[in-house]
Amino acid sequence: MKRFPPREAILDQLAYVLDEIEALKPLIRRVPAIVLESRPMSDTYAINEIFAWMGLADKYLWLPRMQAVVKGEEITGLEEEVKTRLQEEGWRIRPIGVILEMQAAHRRALLDYLSSLTPEEWERGVAGPEEEEVSVQELAYLLTQEDVRYLRAVGERLHESHISLR
């Protein structure tokens, strides 16, 4: 059986992104748009796209997956919808304040949903994409790991841009 941190610890970690957004706002709003919108390589996302991906994934990937688990339905891949929305809705060139507000709103909605679940719903498992059993708890934990990767990428990108702008 897979072991994960307690529910409250996972929810706290997911809520931490909201604190991180608030802490970053004064700093990131001073970063030139060219830095926020530029991709260091063609196969990597710009800072704006990283933040937008996080918010769009909360709404169109993670929440639907978690809802499917609670309903006992099969989990399907929804990454393509997030990628399509990211490109077609022009998130790369939107103002960073708009992106951060969208991300925070979607994270709050996800947290509200997760907080409403019973312990049974939180721990219930269904077959995942590769036939292994997946629970909401596991998906929420995986999301915390994804948050760390994305926030680290933003931090590294901001550091690199600071050095290159000198």
> Mind listing the domains of the chain with CATH numbers?
7-165 (1.20.120.450)
pTM: 0.90
Q: Which long-range contacts link 70-75 to residues 24+ away (Cβ below 8 Å)?
A: 70/117, 70/121, 70/124, 70/136, 72/124, 72/126, 73/126, 74/126, 74/127, 75/126, 75/127, 75/128, 75/129, 75/134
User: Block means of pLDDT (10 residues each) for the chain, length 166 residues?
Assistant: 87 95 88 92 91 97 94 83 92 95 97 97 80 88 96 88 55
Check residue 30 and report its DSSP letter. Answer: T
* Per-residue confidence (pLDDT) for residue 1, from 0 to 100: 57
Q: What Rg value do the Cα atoms of the chain yield, rounded?
A: 17
